[in-house]
Structure 1
C-alpha cells in the first residue's frame, strides 16, 4: 500500500493553485472538470503521482467557503531553508501565521503558512542531506 493523495475542498480554485504552485513550488499535475457533478479536481505536487503523494484540490462549483471542523490539523512540507522560504512566501503575498523557530517543547524548527482557504501548511526545516530533521509532534500546534 502507498498513500496516494490528500484532498482539500477549496472555495476558489485559481487562488488555491496560485498558492500551492507559485508560493509553495508545486506543479499542477492534472486538472479536470466534471460538469455532471458540478466540480473540478486539480492535483498538485512535487513529483509524478506514480512515485509521490500529491494534493487533490476539489472545487465544488458555486461553493466559496467551508466550515472547519476541529479534527483536521495541517499539511507538512520539508524545506531546506525555512527562514528564506518564509521571506519569499511573504514577498509573494503569502501569509505566514507562525514565524520560523523551534517548536514548543522541542528543537525542530517549524513555521506555519495559511492558504487562501484558511488551511494551515507547516514548514519543517530539513538538514543539509535533505532528510527531515527528527520530528517531534505536538497535537496543540494546530492553534499556533
Structure 2
C-alpha cells in the first residue's frame, strides 16, 4: 500500500562548507534564519539548518522537519584552518553532478545589487549572456546560487528595495544521466509530481521540476521571464543533457565520493517506518537502512545516479526524536 505522499516534503539540501561563519553569514544575507543547529563533538562535525522564517515566508515558525527549502550546512571541525581543504561545487570535472540551489526574490535587480554590494562574486550577473532574467551568485565555497525573480525584470526598476522575507528557497538542481529512469524513480518511489518541464532543444538539454505541490497553484499566466513556480519552495530540478543516457557507467559525481561537496537531499515523511517499508518493497538501493549504524532515525536511499536521499520523520506529524 502506497503511503500518503501528500504529507511528504522535500525538506533540505545538504552542502559541506569550509568555514561555517562565512557560509552562515552569506545565507543570512539572503534572508535565511538559523532554525536549528546540531553539534556532534565526538564525530567532530556540526550541522547548521537555515530557512526562510520571516513574516512573509512560507513556513514561518514551523519545526525544521516540517518545512521545505531548508539548507543544511555541514562543517567538519578544523576545515576552516586547513589550506588544502577545498569544496567541490559540482560544476566542473571530475566532480560534476550537483548544479546549484536557487532562491526566488521579490526584486531581482535589488537583490543582486545587495549581494554584490556585500562583496560576493557572481558566476553570472543579470547583464551577462542571453538570459537577462537570472543570475548566479557564488557563496563562500563557490557553490552556485541561482537568483530568479518573482516579477519580470522590467517591472523592478527600483534597484534599492528588496524584502528578504518574501524570498523562497525555490529549488535544488542535480544533473541526471537518464531522464526516464530518474523521473520514474522520483515519481514512483518518492511520490513527487512533475510540475514543469522546460525543453531547451537548441542547447541540447531539458529541465524537469518535481516536488510536492500541496496547496501551491501554478500560475499558467505568469509573465514572460518569470518561472511559474517561482513562489514555491522545495523543488527538485533534474537537468538532462541529451545523449548521456547512452554513455556507459556512472556519468555524474554524487558529491560524497572525492572530491566532496554536495551531500544529499532530504525528504521528511509522515511515517518513517512505513515509508521505509514501502521503499523496501519498491526494491530501492539503500545506502543506510533505519536499522544500520547508531542513528536509528534516519535512512539513506540511492537514486539512479547514486545521489543520496535522506529520509526522516516529520516531527510535527509524529514525534520520534529529540533533534
What TM-score comes out, normalization by structure 1 length?
0.80
Contact 2:271–2:318, Cα closer than 8 Å, also in 1: no
Q: Distance in 1 between matches of 2:194 and 2:311?
A: 20
Specify every segment of 5 or more residues in structure 2 that has no aligned partner in the other structure, as ranges: 1-166, 217-228, 246-250
2:41 is aligned with 1:41: no
1:82 shift after superposition: 1.6
1:66 maps to what in 2?
252
Deviates more, 1:49-58 or 1:114-123: 49-58
Number of residues paired by the alignment? 133
Equivalent of 1:93, from 270, 276, 283? 283
Larger radius of gyration: 2
1:15 shift after superposition: 0.6
What TM-score comes out, normalization by structure 2 length?
0.38
Q: Deviation per CA, 1:50-89: give whole Å up to 9, x if none.
A: 3332000000111241134411100011112222211211
Q: Secondary structure at the match of 2:263?
A: coil
Q: Distance in 2 between matches of 1:89 and 1:102?
A: 16
Contact 1:102–1:109, Cα closer than 8 Å, also in 2: no
Q: Distance in 1 between matches of 2:173 and 2:322?
A: 26
1:141 maps to what in 2?
none
Equivalent of 1:84, from 269, 274, 280? 274
User: RMSD over aligned Cα, in angstroms?
Assistant: 2.3
1:5 maps to what in 2?
171
2:213 is aligned with 1:25: no
